Amino acid sequence: MQVRQGVYEKLSRETYRELTMTEPSIYPILGLTSEVGELAGKFKKLYRDQKGVEPPGFRDEVLLELGDVLWYLTQICPNVGFTLEQVAEANLDKIMDRRRRGVLDGSGDMR
């Protein structure tokens, strides 16, 4: 399925259900954290168990985990008042500014 700008956000939001919590972003933030952990676990096991050699189906599993990460990130955006496009644009602006200033390496958001 080819996805046009904004379509993913709209369609994925149709599968979102808000849970009763003090803050509507808590559930998707916890979900995002969980999915990133699952993604990291796949790579941990790749290097621990497979010596870095991808077994059959590994890339398909990674693709599915990345999709789950994207889904949760997309659900957080409207809860905090942003679109996925705004987040992506702000990130690119930040990264390109760091590249321009020669500070891609290092740590700290405001370097």
Provide the greatest CA pair distance for the chain.
45
Alpha-carbon distance of 83 to 13, in angstroms, equals 12
Residue pLDDT, tens place only, 24-56: 889 999 999 999 999 999 999 999 999 999 999
Domain extent listing, the chain: 7-80, 81-111
Residue pLDDT, tens place only, 75-111: 999 999 999 999 999 999 999 999 999 998 888 877 7
